[in-house]
Amino acid sequence: MRPALDAVLFDLDGTLLDTAPDFFWTINTLLAEEGRPAMDFPALRAQVSHGARAMVQTAFDLTLDDPAFNQLHPRMLALYEQHLDVDTVLFDGLDALLEVLESASIPWGIVTNKPERYTTPLLNGLGLASRAGSVICPDQVNQRKPDPESLFLACRELKVRPAHCVYVGDHIRDIEAGRRAGMCTIAADYGYIDADDNVSNWQADHIIRHGGELLPLLHSLYSLDNLNSLDESV
């Protein structure tokens, strides 16, 4: 008999939300202010999961100890804060999935390394804050992913069992955190992944290449009879 599914947890940038377009605007605005040529979208997209520091480093070819980095990084964050929910959207297939989970009373949540300062207004702007059962940012824990602390906290908030939860992410640290929490791990190969990175090496339990693949996968893994009549139109 297949196990029950208690909850589905998502990483944020590159897994649940396509935030790259707003970061693209931010970085290129900063580059323009500095009289630099614009950055190509694919090169920027691959850096989003590494965070703002990596995007600034890549765009300006800087190291973290370069004095220019200490000036550009806070300016980049200030620009992003003004433009964080303009072009960001859910990845294809995930809005329908969330609606199915909600209709079946299966909670979903977000566990991200994105600071609360940006996560909360972003989710509010997209109307997702009230829908997520739990949103865990690094501000709320002592150890960031790949430590599993944030995943365990999400489970406590949702009152669910980690072993009956799924964690979906687009970075090896997400998969490591999920494995260490004892969850089923799903790698989002559609996310913000370096060209030389091989998702197959992350040791995820499963790999999906489009958001629309997640619901059929969940059906194959878990006892979801209560979803059969709900997801026919998805």
Q: Are 101 and 94 in contact (CB under 8 A)?
A: no
Q: Are 203 and 179 in contact (CB under 8 A)?
A: yes
CA distance 227 to 106: 10
61 is catalytic: no
Dihedral pair phi/psi, residue 178, rounded to 5°: -65, -40
The single residue of 6, 11, 85, 174 carrying the catalytic annotation is 11
The closest alpha carbon to 54, from 85, 14, 109, 91, belongs to 14
User: Got the DSSP string for 176-200?
Assistant: HHHHHTT-EEEEETTSS--TT--GG
Strand pairing report for 89-90 and 17-18: antiparallel
Strands (E), the chain: 7-10, 17-18, 89-90, 108-111, 134-136, 165-169, 184-188, 206-208
Q: Are 98 and 131 in contact (CB under 8 A)?
A: yes
The single residue of 6, 13, 22, 170 carrying the catalytic annotation is 13
Positive/negative CA dihedral, 180, 183, 187, 188 = negative
**Encoding tokens for residue 121?**
């207004």
85 is catalytic: no
CA distance 192 to 2: 32
Q: Which positions are catalytic?
A: 11, 13
